Amino acid sequence: MKGQMQKAEVNVSTVTQFVLIGFSDLPNLQKFLFGVFSIIYLIIIIGNSLIIILTRLDPALQKPMYFFLANFSLLEISYVSVTLPRMLFNLWTQQRRISLWECAIQMCFFLMLGATECFLLAVMAYDRYVAICNPLHDTLVMNEKTCTQLAVGSWVTGIPIQIGQTAQIFSLHFCHSNRIYHFFCDLPPIIKLACGDTFVHEMSVYAVAMLFAVVPFMLILFSYSKIISTILKLPTASGRSKAFSTCSSHLLVVILFFGSATITYLRLKCTHSAGLDKLLSLFYTIVTPMLNPMIYSLRNRDVIAAMRKLLFKKIV
């Protein structure tokens, strides 16, 4: 019976579902991991929701920077909700099977939201560039209409390309196995299961990664080179300290997200390993969304002040 099940898993013509191996190599830690990731999920939801609420209610936070921060927090909640609930379900029930369509839908939303994150981080860097390098024109350049257009553009630009890429990947035949050595349906482990020559598909992944990751990252680097140059010219130490404090939070998030994601998607196929892929994926799918509220709130005086006012009102 066991031999028949293994045959079914590698039969090209009958693959209608995958098996998410996830953390099954740690059988004694399944419930512990479920508890840890459940707490992390709650922290992500509560922390990012609090930022959204603060930016909506506090008049002092009605600025372009906090408008984009609210968008970013909403994005992080959506981004992590694509992968983490399914992982929690698998850890609790040990039912690791996922249909071909469910896997494709998960990957598609994950890629679309990942593209949004890349663009939104670039937009946030541009906002900081305008605010610090051209402060006299800040309100004219980053007006309400422009901010809305930039935010909407970040959310929708990647949708058609990522739908097309997902359709391309799932048009492949899968013959090596249907066992995905990952905790969600990500591009590298899925391509690894495909039979035949996948060179064209790998190149398309690199091309899309260059468009959605490398190009925004270069724009961010350009923005921050100008920002740092301007900050160093500020006459007072307090002015430099405040500007660095505002920008360092965003820069830290950029390094965490782009660093782990770029290594994952731009490595050659032969250098991929299941363990390293899972470790890197944890950074850009779970760790970064969890740290974002802490990074932005602990290093931002306006957010801390708004939080204190909200808590004071609740206590009174």
CATH number at residue 239: 1.20.1070.10
pTM recorded for the entire structure: 0.88
Does 296 reside within a domain?
yes
pLDDT of residue 268: 54
Does 306 reside within a domain?
yes
User: With contact defined as beta carbons under 8 Å apart, do 118 and 213 qualify?
Assistant: yes
Does 8 reside within a domain?
no
Does 9 reside within a domain?
no
- DSSP letters spanning 5-38: HHHHHH-GGG--EEEE-TTTT-GGGHHHHHHHHH
pLDDT of residue 88: 95
Does 5 reside within a domain?
no
pLDDT of residue 294: 80
What are the tokens at 244?
Answer: 């660095």
For residue 111, the enclosing domain spans 15-315
Does 10 reside within a domain?
no
Does 293 reside within a domain?
yes
Q: What is the pLDDT along the chain (316 residues), one digit of tens a residue?
A: 444 444 444 444 457 789 999 898 888 999 999 999 999 999 999 999 999 999 998 888 899 999 999 999 999 999 999 999 999 999 999 889 999 999 999 999 999 999 999 999 999 999 999 988 888 888 889 999 999 999 999 999 999 999 999 999 998 888 768 899 899 999 888 988 888 788 888 888 888 988 898 899 999 999 999 988 888 887 777 667 766 776 777 788 888 888 888 777 776 555 557 777 788 888 888 988 998 888 877 667 788 888 888 777 655 5
Q: Which long-range contacts (CB under 8 A, 24 or more apart) does 159-166 make?
A: 159/112, 161/115, 161/208, 161/211, 161/212, 162/108, 162/111, 162/112, 162/115, 162/208, 163/108, 163/112, 165/111, 165/204, 165/205, 165/208, 166/104, 166/107, 166/108, 166/111
Of 158, 31, 14, whose CA–CA distance to 99 is shortest? 14
pLDDT of residue 3: 46
How many structural domains is the chain composed of? 1
Phi, psi (5° rounding) for residue 19? -120, 115
Phi, psi (5° rounding) for residue 45? -65, -50
Does 6 reside within a domain?
no
